Structure formats: structure tokens, C-alpha cells
């Protein structure tokens, strides 16, 4: 096998849009209307913390703080509370129940081994992984409709990283400055899956935004980059990280010092019960592991598993670079008036995570300004209801990408004007 075999694999990978980005703080609005009729006693089932005639959003934060931490260290404890935003609602913490759930439907992680939470909202971090923390108010009913006629559940949910900062393209970064490959797939120059060769990424680079982009970030976002912008060398490969029966060749960088069992050269067969402990592994034939020098970890793994080890010594690297680049300006924006509503459409940006619609009753967007966030990339249409009949509205749309715990917005589209019927 020649080094030319790998020319399409060993390259710099620029990650602008991260598909599996963390969302440590997920805000969900909760609103209850209390009606008081003269000369009538009406019993209303409402959120106990809701003030009469008021509307609040609710969020989960540590006691005495206004935002969630970027991650929770293993062994750490966090006292979580439900608070209102803006402050003012009297939230009775005893009305809320707490659960730790899987971070997503397909997760195979054992949540109880990662974190537990008691009914006072005290979370204990036990082991590395990602979980969802859910706060529920049983007395509040199933949910409510907001001013935009969108449904909201009367429960709050956040995703929480335990023991690591973030995960990018299957690579986790850690507070001590190293990175670990959690899962990987082999791609060729065209972006298609290559079924023969996989090169382990050498490092993850978190880049600070330039002066222009930094000016658009919040103080929280600036602090995140100040804390974590650096180079994280990949020093470990997790067990069964690269499950495949067709990848024959693996390139392991010098920085890797730890390789888990069945990390390379095996196909993982999950048990029908879904229990990870019952999974089996089928060994792939004719596997060769290439080191960029006499890498003792890679050589030891190859010998222990009966694979061939070769010193490739190319000096080339595979890098994942995380950059806070802005999405493109949204094109083909249209707005159509209806009866007390308008329909806004725009052209899809395949590289964006979502969109923000901004509308108002004045050209400078200062009168009755409102924002509507669209969280799905494929959504290109939104009906905005409960508008004032006969009024003129100005509307514009912009796309956003997620980077860490931040949203990087692109330029607004051209402003469209409609007169509501």
C-alpha cells in the first residue's frame, strides 16, 4: 500500500457548521392567562409562579446564577432552580419535579452512570457523558399557545455535558486541553464515505472570532471563546470508536497515547435489547494500522489485536477547525398579507442551523418590533398571526449557525413591506 492511498484523507477539515452542537441552555416560554370575571368565582389551573395578567419565560439555572455552566466536572454538584425571565414571578421550586434523561433518542449512554438528580433539583455528576435534564410542573397542565400561536409544553429541558466541554464531529474536547475521538467515519475528497481508509483527526482548533465578528457577540459568547479558544490535540481514541467491517487502513497521529478496546478493526453488533454490555464484535480481515512514527500506542494496539502496523512517517495531519463564520445573506424573501396575519417565505440555506424573522410597524424596526426564531434548517415558510388589521408591517429574515453555546447570525435579507388585511 502506497502513501498515495491516503492523499484524499490526510487534509485540513474546516468545520463551519457543527451538526451536533450542544445546546446547554434551552429556553421555553411558559404563559398562563388568569381570567377574573366580576361576580363570578372561576377556578383556574395555572402555573403557581405566574403573576396575574403577566407573561413570563422560564429557564433552568443554578441557584443564584443567571446561566448554565458550559459543562459540569465529574464529581461536581449543581443546585438547579426554575426561574422566570424577566425576574418577577414567584416560582415555587416545590411545584417542580426533576428527571435526568437521554440526550437524544438514539443515545446508548447509561444516564444514571453519568448524572442523577434529586427532587430538590440537586444534580450530581458521576461519569463522563451527555444527558438531558427535565423540569416538569404537573399542576400546570400540558402546555400553552404563545402570541404567535405556537404550542409550548409546560416542561423545561436542557442538555448538559458532564466531564467534557464540547463535542465536534465526533471528537470531544476537555478542560485540561486534550481531545478524544468518540466516533469516526472515513470520507474521500468528494465528501462521500470512503470504505477503505480512516485517518484519526490530529487536533481540534477553536478559533477566536476576528474583531468584526467579536463585536456582534454577547458578553457570554465572548467569555466562552476567551475560555476555550486554543488547540486541542487528539490524545485518545474511545472504545469501539470506528465500527466498520470495510475500513482496512487506519492512520493514527503521534499524539494518541490511549486506544480503547475494539476501537479500530471491528464491526460492533448491537444486542436486540439495546444493552451496550451485550454487544458483540466481529473482527475485520486484513487490517493495517499506520503510525506517523513508531507510535507505541498504535503499535501496541495492532499487536494485541493481530493487525499489521507500519510506520507511515508522512508528517501530514488531519485538523478539525471550528470557526465562527457567518452564514450567507438570506435570499428570495417574500411576505404576503392575510387577514390579521402575514406569510413569510425565504430561500433555504443548507449550511445554516436556523433562521430569525424580525418584523415591526416602522421602517427603522423600532415600533412594535418582534423576533421569531426558526430552529429547523429545512423550514422556509412561517405564518405570523395576531397582527393588527389595516396596519403596515416591515419584515426581514436572517440565517444563523451554531458555534458552541452561541448563534452566529448572517446579514438580514431585503426588507419586505405588507399591509395586513
DSSP character at residue 284: P
- Alpha-carbon distance of 369 to 333, in angstroms, equals 18
Is pLDDT larger for residue 45 or for residue 131? 131
Say yes or no to pLDDT of 211 above 50: yes
DSSP character at residue 196: S
Residue 309 vs residues 9, 10, 290, 314, 351: alpha-carbon distances, Å: 18, 18, 6, 15, 39
Q: Does any domain span residue 66?
A: yes
Domain count within the chain:
3
pLDDT of residue 152: 56
Is pLDDT larger for residue 55 or for residue 227? 227
When pLDDT is cut at 50, 70 and 90, the band that residue 110 belongs to is: confident
Say yes or no to pLDDT of 170 above 70: yes
- Alpha-carbon distance of 368 to 202, in angstroms, equals 50
Residues 96 and 153 in one domain: yes
Collapsed DSSP state (helix, strand, coil) of residue 270: coil
> Which of 159, 246, 163, 174 is closest to 204 using CA atoms?
174
Say yes or no to pLDDT of 31 above 80: no
Residues 8 and 137 in one domain: no
Residues 312 and 339 in one domain: no
Find cell 425576574 and name the residue: 87
Is pLDDT larger for residue 213 or for residue 346? 346
pTM of the model: 0.60
Residue 349 vs residues 29, 327, 332: alpha-carbon distances, Å: 27, 8, 11
pLDDT of residue 149: 58
Collapsed DSSP state (helix, strand, coil) of residue 343: strand
Q: Which three cell numbers stand for residue 315?
A: 508528517
Give the contacts of 345 (CB within 8 A, at least 6 positions apart).
Answer: 332, 333, 334, 335, 336, 380, 381, 382
Residues 297 and 173 in one domain: yes
pLDDT of residue 140: 61
Give the mean pLDDT of the chain: 78
Residues 191 and 224 in one domain: yes
Say yes or no to pLDDT of 415 above 60: yes
pLDDT of residue 401: 84
Instruction: Give the H/E segment covering residue 111.
Output: helix 111-114
Is pLDDT larger for residue 413 or for residue 152? 413
> Which of 401, 251, 368, 358 is closest to 311 using CA atoms?
251
For residues 118, 124, 128, 132, the Cα torsion angle rounded to the nearest 10 degrees is 40
pLDDT of residue 146: 53
pLDDT of residue 147: 55
Residues 294 and 342 in one domain: no
pLDDT of residue 90: 82
pLDDT in tens, 172-204: 999 999 999 998 876 554 545 456 888 899 999
Residues 364 and 391 in one domain: yes
Q: What mean pLDDT is predicted for residues 32-42?
A: 27
Dihedrals phi, psi of 100, to nearest 5 degrees: -110, 125
Residues 315 and 253 in one domain: yes
18 within 8 A of 168, measured Cβ to Cβ? yes
Residues 248 and 302 in one domain: yes
When pLDDT is cut at 50, 70 and 90, the band that residue 142 belongs to is: low
Of the residues 162, 185, 217, the one at which a domain ends: 162
Of the residues 287, 322, 357, the one at which a domain ends: 322
Q: Where are the alpha helices (DSSP H) in 289-367?
A: 296-305
Give the contacts of 367 (CB within 8 A, at least 6 positions apart).
Answer: 360, 361
Say yes or no to pLDDT of 3 above 70: no
C-alpha count within 13 angstroms, C-beta hemisphere, residue 403 = 32
Residue 180 sits in a domain whose CATH number is 3.80.10
When pLDDT is cut at 50, 70 and 90, the band that residue 153 belongs to is: low
Q: Does any domain span residue 328?
A: no
Pairing relation of β-strands 258-259 and 231-237? parallel
> Which of 157, 156, 155 is closest to 143 using CA atoms?
155
- Which range of residues forms the domain containing residue 255? 3-19+169-322
Residue 85 sits in a domain whose CATH number is 2.60.40.1080
Say yes or no to pLDDT of 315 above 90: no
Amino acid at each position: 500500500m502506497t502513501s498515495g492511498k491516503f492523499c484524499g484523507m490526510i487534509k485540513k477539515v474546516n468545520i463551519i457548521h457543527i451538526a451536533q452542537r450542544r445546546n446547554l441552555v434551552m429556553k421555553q416560554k411558559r404563559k398562563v392567562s388568569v381570567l377574573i370575571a366580576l361576580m363570578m368565582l372561576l377556578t383556574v389551573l395555572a402555573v403557581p409562579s405566574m403573576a396575574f395578567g403577566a407573561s413570563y419565560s422560564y429557564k433552568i439555572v443554578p441557584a443564584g446564577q443567571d446561566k448554565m455552566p458550559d459543562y459540569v466536572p465529574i464529581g461536581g454538584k449543581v443546585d438547579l432552580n426554575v426561574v422566570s425571565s424577566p425576574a418577577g414571578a414567584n416560582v415555587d421550586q416545590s411545584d417542580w419535579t426533576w428527571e435526568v434523561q437521554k440526550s437524544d433518542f438514539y443515545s446508548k449512554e447509561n444516564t444514571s452512570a453519568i448524572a442523577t438528580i434529586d427532587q430538590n433539583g440537586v444534580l450530581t455528576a458521576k461519569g463522563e457523558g451527555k444527558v438531558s435534564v427535565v423540569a416538569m410542573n404537573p399542576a400546570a397542565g400540558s402546555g400553552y399557545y404563545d402570541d404567535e400561536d405556537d404550542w409550548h409544553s409546560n416542561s423545561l429541558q436542557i442538555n448538559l455535558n458532564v466531564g467534557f466541554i464540547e463535542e465536534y464531529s465526533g471528537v470531544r474536547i476537555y478542560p485540561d486541553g486534550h481531545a478524544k475521538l468518540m466516533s469516526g467515519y472515513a470520507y474521500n475528497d468528494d465528501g462521500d464515505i470512503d470504505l477503505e481508509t480512516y485517518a484519526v483527526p490530529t487536533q481540534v482548533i477553536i478559533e477566536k472570532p476576528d474583531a468584526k465578528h467579536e463585536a456582534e457577540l454577547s458578553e457570554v459568547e465572548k467569555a466562552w471563546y476567551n475560555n476555550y479558544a486554543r488547540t486541542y490535540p487528539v490524545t485518545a481514541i474511545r472504545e469501539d470508536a470506528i465500527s466498520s467491517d470495510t475500513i482496512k487502513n487506519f492512520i493514527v497521529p503521534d499524539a494518541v497515547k490511549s486506544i480503547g478496546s475494539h476501537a479500530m478493526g471491528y464491526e460492533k453488533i448491537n444486542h436486540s435489547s439495546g444493552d451496550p454490555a451485550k454487544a458483540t464484535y466481529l473482527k475485520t480481515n486484513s487490517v493495517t494500522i499506520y503510525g506517523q512514527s513508531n507510535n507505541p500506542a498504535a503499535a501496541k494496539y495492532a499487536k494485541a489485536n493481530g493487525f499489521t502496523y507500519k510506520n507511515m512517517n508522512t508528517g501530514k495531519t488531519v485538523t478539525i477547525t471550528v470557526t465562527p463564520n457567518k452564514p450567507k445573506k438570506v435570499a428570495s424573501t417574500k411576505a404576503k398579507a392575510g387577514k390579521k396575519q402575514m406569510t413569510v417565505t425565504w430561500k433555504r440555506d443548507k449550511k445554516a442551523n436556523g433562521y430569525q424573522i424580525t418584523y415591526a410597524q416602522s421602517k427603522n424596526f423600532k415600533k412594535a418590533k418582534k423576533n421569531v426564531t426558526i430552529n429547523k434548517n429545512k423550514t422556509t415558510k412561517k405564518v405570523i398571526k395576531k397582527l393588527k388589521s389595516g396596519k403596515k408591517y416591515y419584515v426581514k429574515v436572517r440565517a444563523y449557525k451554531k458555534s458552541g453555546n452561541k448563534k452566529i447570525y448572517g446579514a438580514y435579507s431585503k426588507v419586505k413591506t405588507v399591509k395586513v388585511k
